Structure 1
Amino acid sequence: MVRRANDEHAYVVTYDVADARRWRRVFKLMKGYGRWLQLSVFHCRLDGGRRADMALALERLIDPGKDHVVILDLGPAGEVEFAVESLGKRFEPIERRAVVV
């Protein structure tokens, strides 16, 4: 199957950043790409261009010798039933909405 650049995929992005200042920068960046699930975990719906932009921005913020970011591609967003088992704090799924840039 060929993936078009504008096809949205669902992602889970999680990170372990050693420095508190860098961690805050990564957290702030990720709020612009997806929904915060918990401390260092975000759920994102991104097309190929936004996903590439996000990865590049993350690479610029982290220290590759000390920090680690994992981007899990869950597949085409329209085909993914994002089910989360949440113990404790209530989880609310991401709404699909248009973003004006």
Structure 2
Amino acid sequence: MPKKYVLVSYDISDDKRWRKVYKTMKGYGEHIQYSVFLCQLSELQEAKLKAALEDIVHHQDDQVMFVHIGPVNDIQLDKRISTVGRDYIPLDLKNLIF
């Protein structure tokens, strides 16, 4: 199943729920800013992540946003991301050992 880059950003109004969302997100992608993760997800993985988050967030007060960047392929991600301030330095996710 092909994977795509998905930028996940969240605005959680309660610290306890924020920590739960953060811990959930750590299993799915690279933490790149305070409440932002960059993920490589298949459709099934995205559905599982959304289901896990459904049980955590308060639907009236919180928001988790998924932004599809494009397919995971040979085009380097750092060519797709531009910054103002510090440079974005991607992790080599293929060589991480958990």
Q: Could you say which TM-score interval applies, normalised by the shorter chain?
A: 0.7 to 0.9
Q: Following the alignment from structure 1 to structure 2, what is the Cα–Cα distance between the partners of residues 98 and 7?
A: 19
Which residue in the other structure is 2:53 paired with? 58
Seq. identity, %: 31
TM-score (norm 2): 0.83
Greater CA deviation, 72-81 or 28-37?
A: 72-81
Match of 1:76 in 2: 71
What displacement does 1:80 show? Answer: 5.3
Structure 2 runs not aligned, ≥5 long? none
Secondary structure in 1 matching 2:19: helix
Structure 1: runs of 5 or more not aligned:
1-5
| Number of residue pairs the alignment of both structures matches | 94
CA distance in 2, matches of 1:49, 1:98: 23
What do you get for the CA RMSD once the two structures are aligned? 2.1
Q: Which amino acid aligns with 1:13?
A: V
